[in-house]
Structure 1
């Protein structure tokens, strides 16, 4: 990565917003992938919606290993995933970028860096969407083909409307796979 691009990326703080509920089985993998991001100027706000498993303890242990204030654990609204994610928006300062994060994902190391670079220089609200790789529990990609139902039957569908929207234009991204019921997802960015 060029020195110019590295300086540009350091200038943008990203607040990662993670809504959790009973996420202990996959949460450690996602937290490790966040810690491994090449864009190091990030903070993480985790809103737990009343987990009774080890979710809160896993987040607290992760926070203890990070610089003070980089990771915060807050109580969620206990009103479902959508409201939990929406409540997290209150924790994003006006000059920061926000990145939504699922508890069962695994991000590739350049996910935040690529998002920051793509959004650089845009005026006003903008949205960046990355591709998704649907995987099994070991993060090995499922062998999908367009038009196939995949391992989840009719819940699996292929679609094209993954957009990177800017205030002035929209650019289509490659095909991506969406599942209503996922085991593990390794986010590609």
Structure 2
């Protein structure tokens, strides 16, 4: 399926479909019996915020159907400044700009599972990040999300350390995550 996919920024009118794909992701995560994404997050407001920042990306198949999504962020991620985290790259360059891109809120549509969608999207994101002058891509996941952890290892990400999310807004109840990073370029 990878050869039939394209990746592009999502359009505002695609928010509902992006949310449907994220809901498929929530159901996939639920099978692990962990709390990640099981209390309302991600939701329409997080999708709309990603769209407003130009951070919401989608994979589109040859028929024009959206089959995957991820948020590719280029701003400083406050969650990634935890003192217990030692990254492969510095958080900022001499100009105070982030040296990395971060991937968040990634999911594959249920009908496209096991077809290489997320591998295609991560590879495309690496190219986008490198073209933007970033040194790496950072991502995190719940320790119990074994499918994502295995995927990240296969994609060449280094597992770095566990940390606790700072955001305590009630949409996530189990705040432990594992940080990953991959050098790009």
The two structures have a TM-score, normalised by structure 1, of: 0.26
TM-score by length of 2: 0.26
